[in-house]
Amino acid sequence: MGKHTGAHIVWDWNGTLFHDNDAIIGATNAAFGELGLEPITMERYRALYCVPVPKFYERLLGRLPTDAEWEVMDETFHRYYAAHRGRCGLTEGVADLLAGWRSAGRSQSILSMYVHDELVPLVRGFGIAEHFVRVDGRTGPSGGSKAEHMVRHLASLAAVDPARTVVIGDAADDAVAALHVGARAVLYTGGSHSRASLEGVGVPVVDSLAEAVVEAERLAA
């Protein structure tokens, strides 16, 4: 990694490094179809989406899904998403941003709520795995918050100081996870949340990943 300066980025994957909005909305509508719900637009999705995911479904159903409904919707979502993610690519400029951060002697990692065994080969397939000191996906049940996963992720990175760590993601839950471990956060508007929903979190909100990296530099200085 070269000379280590202490600043570290924890990147989110879906909706941040990986521009998979089309697959996400298609999978969401496939899951909704299992309960007879009408499909929703990307704009409505971004206005209402929240974590944990069952709460998002509650906003649309008017109640929390039952355990049986959640199981069906979750399975449908992941089956559809896996079939359609191949049409998606990295967010514009990602390769250069990752290379630039690394060449400056700084470290970076990925923490995603996407299933670990599918995330790792996906990252490798884009030829960017060398830029990360660690890549962690979800290993437990889906639907929860990223906060506890962030605790384990940073604990596995002994050389990383949470106070000089910045989480870059597209969801309010990324900021919640960052604050949970004493890190900072920058939220990106190109993924699952609208700017309006992100601005209420109280962390910097940006419209490009290039801006996010500039903010990360400032926050981790």
* pLDDT for the residue numbered 60: 85
* pLDDT for the residue numbered 2: 39
Euclidean distance between CA atoms 129 and 37, whole angstroms: 39
Euclidean distance between CA atoms 97 and 16, whole angstroms: 12
Residue range 148-191, pLDDT digits in tens: 999 999 999 988 999 999 999 999 999 999 999 999 999 999 99
User: Structure pTM?
Assistant: 0.91
- pLDDT of residue 1 exceeding 50, the answer is no
Contact residues for 160 (Cβ-Cβ < 8 A; gap 6+): 8, 107, 109, 154
Euclidean distance between CA atoms 160 and 214, whole angstroms: 19
Distances from the Cα of 209 to the Cα of 46, 100, 130, 167, angstroms: 18, 13, 19, 12
Q: Are 39 and 29 in contact (CB under 8 A)?
A: yes
Residue found under tokens 């709460």: 55
Q: Are 74 and 9 in contact (CB under 8 A)?
A: no
Q: What is the mean pLDDT of the chain?
A: 93
pLDDT-based confidence at 3, cuts 50/70/90?
Answer: very low
Residue range 36-79, pLDDT digits in tens: 889 999 999 998 888 888 888 899 888 999 999 999 999 999 99
